[in-house]
Structure 1
Amino acid sequence: MAIAKYKFTDSWFYEKAVKDIVPLNLAKEYAEKNGIMIKGDRGIIGSIAAISYNPEEITYELITYRPEEEWSKNKREIDFNSVVNFENKYFPKVFENVDYIKKYLLISPHGHDPILYGIRGIDADILIKGLDEIKTKDSIDMAMIFKTNQATDSHITHKNYFYQTTEIVGKVLMVKIIEGGDVIINVNNESVLVYKETGELNLASKYLRKGDIIRVIGAVKPSIKFGKIIEAERIEILELNDKILRNPRCPKCNSSSESLGKNKGFRCKKCGYKFYGEKIIEKVPRELTTGIYQSRYYRHLTRPIYLDLIRNQTFNEDQISSILNKLVNYKN
């Protein structure tokens, strides 16, 4: 545990903790240098990061706590439909509280601890309403609202070191579907791995082709097979390569032709007529559109697509709520 003697304004430690690896000895040295009192060895890094948290963007989480005599209970009795109705009513100002694909709640732990549930959102006043609208047979001893960095993308860095979450922009050089369904993409000679478990992101990655321009966000990890990989959690397609070069049609019989080599012209495959001409640029339909594709399951720091769209004002809340309604009624 760490306790600061004064209001802490240095955000360096938080930035390092959220984007990098912090050794325990560095945290202790930093605490001593900055007048932070520490006790024991557990929770020091997270505590110092928390008190040096000075964010540009925040979200909120309402956490409810059980009475101490109920901490030994594993099971929480929270009404599933009340959480669905709460999120459906206030989405996207509350979010990521229900897995609509697998049909289970994301708000409660399963161990012997004080927490009953925690609900996430961007409006603290709405989260407070959850105390009345979310139904549970469990007792609530108290509740607190925390400022958090959840869903803010604060973990992303432009560096490309192991165990950091990086962002790269580049041209697709190769796409290969690996046995089992994972996809490996070569982007500017970087190996990007899109796991089958990422759902829609994995499906979209299979339709990428050489020449597409994409932005990739993902964790940099070591790989025995590939050396270094980026485990994609989001891919933004900036530009689609929807044009191909074709040989010209034969001017005599309009059949397809084959190239005779560089600057040597073409020969008709049907009648054998040789001629000179230019390659023809044709636009081909693609199974993808430009935009953001994100993993179905992602880290709690990752900003969901709909919050990004609201921030950039490319979608309004009514449009996004209609997306949620489709999820609520989705039949897997």
Structure 2
Amino acid sequence: MFVAIDDTDSPEGGCTTHLTYTLLSSLKEEYALVGYPRLVRLNPTVPWKTRGNGATIFFLAKKGGGKSFSVGERDGEEITAWERGEGRVDPEELLEVVREALEEEGRRWRENSPGCVVGEVQPPEELYFKGVRGIVKREVAEGYLTDAGALWWGGRGVIGAACASAWRGMGHTYEILAYRKEEMWGRERAVREDEVKELERLFPSTFNNYDPLNRHICIRPSTPCPVLIGVRGTNPEELKDAYGHLTLEDHPGYLIYLTNQGSDHHLIPLQGSEPAPGGSYLLPATVAGHPRRERGGHAFVTARGEGGFEITLAAYRQTGELRDILMQLLPGDRVVAAGSVDSYPGTLNLEKIGVVEAPPVKEKIANPLCPGCGRRMKSSGKEGFRCPRCGRRAGKDAAEYRVVERRHLEGLYEAAVSARRHLSRPLKLMGDEERARFMKCCPTSYNLQ
């Protein structure tokens, strides 16, 4: 039996993952947790999202089967999961338990609209992709839930919970989330920068820990939520070691989630069609203008998609190398751009860019020598060149040029760590084959295999 929850976050301190942590702690005597709980990030461009637009889903049974393993800890007591579950759980009884928890959460925090889904059969996977790539209406989500025989309760959160419940776990990573005591919520988090800097060296399976360019600790939230730190990686056991390496304030414990973070599942590969607002795209294009840097250090360049439409590629100051690469592009360069179209139609906010082809350019190094007297000629504007001594003339092409190779620009680039979306796949997780599929902008999602 699965339980999915969404939209319990609030600016004052509510948090969907923390509610899940609390629920799993309280339910462990009556139910068995099957597998890792899941944190599912949905469409990052949804205007009414709460923080990272994340929902949770976990699976329960009457008792566990197979091997057991630890997925968390609270107040010194282990939170255990099992390889498989045995015994049917009453869905109506479980829905009532979760509903009571959500109602209590709703009374504590404002500006949220919590919802939950309980069911035995997950909805079709297509609902997950609708939720991570687009905007799903409630009646559509409820239609899928009805067909799957699921039960649900609540407000807008039912939509996110439904979409999260359809994720099958492909392309997953993990995150260990440590939680604070309630009296610490809203206070500054004391996390040692030197320890965070060395996490990736000591624990190579972790990623997105620290941004050296912006000198930002990325594992530490900046909101008043209950989360103390969150470390991401591909190996859950090494995540425990990384967590143990950190010097942290006294806190109740942690929970490890299986997540779709770092999957790039939000990217819609386009072949000729124009990107619409409210989505994230993988777009082949040809640079059609010279880059410009505007106030604030942000960079922009006009590109032309395969369908002939024009779009502005934007790399903001915080993106670091991505902005620097954008400023080196020239008309005629072929690129594959990954990013989102938010509130400004016609502008793609870059997350990654692949420079597929950067042709060589001719660079003028000197005016021509006069064939008559050997003196260096001077420019005459549109007329070309004129010798100041004997008056002879020459066309523009008579200047001396050199060919400048630009192949060194060809490759795949990403935003600085602190400027990455939860769903953006770090280059360190992409092998050669996956990078090649990205550069070809495959019509099927390159990251699902």
SS in 1 for 2:332: coil
Does the CA-based 8 Å contact 1:294-1:305 persist in structure 2?
yes
Residue segments in structure 2 that go unaligned for 5+ positions in a row = 1-114, 305-309, 437-449
Distance verdict in 2 for CA 1:63–1:311, change over 3 Å: farther
Q: 1:210 aligns with which of 308, 331, 343?
A: 331
Distance verdict in 2 for CA 1:65–1:221, change over 3 Å: closer
SS in 1 for 2:346: strand
Does the CA-based 8 Å contact 1:62-1:127 persist in structure 2?
yes
Q: 1:107 aligns with which of 219, 222, 244?
A: 219
Residue segments in structure 1 that go unaligned for 5+ positions in a row = 315-332
Matches within 5 A, 1:54-133: 54-67=168-181, 69-70=182-183, 72=185, 74-91=187-204, 93-111=205-223, 113-133=225-245
Q: Compute the displacement of 1:197 (Å).
A: 3.3
Does the CA-based 8 Å contact 1:2-1:36 persist in structure 2?
no
Distance verdict in 2 for CA 1:233–1:131, change over 3 Å: closer
Corresponding residue for 2:149? 35
Matches within 5 A, 1:166-245: 166-180=281-295, 181-188=297-304, 189-223=310-344, 228-244=346-362
Count the aligned residue pairs: 303
Corresponding residue for 2:422? 300
Q: Compute the displacement of 1:301 (Å).
A: 0.7
Q: Counterparts of 1:301 and 1:86 in 2: how far apart (Å)?
A: 21
Deviations 1:100-131 (A, max 9, x none): 23434222335554433211001112112124
Distance verdict in 2 for CA 1:62–1:186, change over 3 Å: same
Q: Compute the displacement of 1:41 (Å).
A: 0.6
Q: 1:15 aligns with which of 125, 129, 134?
A: 129
Distance verdict in 2 for CA 1:14–1:254, change over 3 Å: farther
Q: Compute the displacement of 1:77 (Å).
A: 3.3
Does the CA-based 8 Å contact 1:77-1:138 persist in structure 2?
no
Q: CA RMSD in A?
A: 3.5
Task: Return the letter of the residue paired with 1:24.
Answer: R
SS in 1 for 2:290: strand
Q: 2:159 aligns with which of 45, 61, 64?
A: 45
Deviations 1:2-47 (A, max 9, x none): 3342131611111011111123343233323332211111422222
**1:290 maps onto 2:410 in alignment:** yes
Task: Return the letter of the residue paired with 1:90.
Answer: F
Corresponding residue for 2:276? 161
Q: 2:262 aligns with which of 125, 146, 151?
A: 151
SS in 2 for 1:39: strand
Distance verdict in 2 for CA 1:113–1:269, change over 3 Å: closer
Does the CA-based 8 Å contact 2:116-2:154 persist in structure 1?
no
Task: Return the letter of the residue paired with 1:202.
Answer: R
Q: Compute the displacement of 1:307 (Å).
A: 2.2
Does the CA-based 8 Å contact 2:138-2:156 persist in structure 1?
no
Deviations 1:135-186 (A, max 9, x none): 2122233x22211111111110024221111122122110241531333322
SS in 1 for 2:175: strand
Q: Counterparts of 1:274 and 1:75 in 2: how far apart (Å)?
A: 70
Q: Counterparts of 2:311 and 2:268 in 1: how far apart (Å)?
A: 16
Q: Counterparts of 2:216 and 2:252 in 1: how far apart (Å)?
A: 21
Q: Counterparts of 2:369 and 2:301 in 1: how far apart (Å)?
A: 34
Distance verdict in 2 for CA 1:44–1:177, change over 3 Å: same
SS in 1 for 2:409: coil
Q: Compute the displacement of 1:192 (Å).
A: 1.9
Q: Counterparts of 1:305 and 1:286 in 2: how far apart (Å)?
A: 22
Task: Return the letter of the residue paired with 2:266.
Answer: H
Deviations 1:80-118 (A, max 9, x none): 333333332123x10112232343422233555443321
Distance verdict in 2 for CA 1:41–1:254, change over 3 Å: same
TM-score (norm 2): 0.58
Q: Counterparts of 2:262 and 2:283 in 1: how far apart (Å)?
A: 20
Distance verdict in 2 for CA 1:41–1:268, change over 3 Å: closer
The percentage of counterpart residues that share the same residue type is 25
Q: Compute the displacement of 1:302 (Å).
A: 0.7
Deviations 1:176-218 (A, max 9, x none): 4153133332211322223233222222211211111111111
Does the CA-based 8 Å contact 1:175-1:210 persist in structure 2?
yes
Corresponding residue for 2:40? none
Matches within 5 A, 1:246-285: 269-270=386-387, 272=392, 282-285=402-405
Task: Return the letter of the residue paired with 2:298.
Answer: D
Does the CA-based 8 Å contact 2:214-2:318 persist in structure 1?
no
Task: Return the letter of the residue paired with 2:413.
Answer: Y
Corresponding residue for 1:322? none
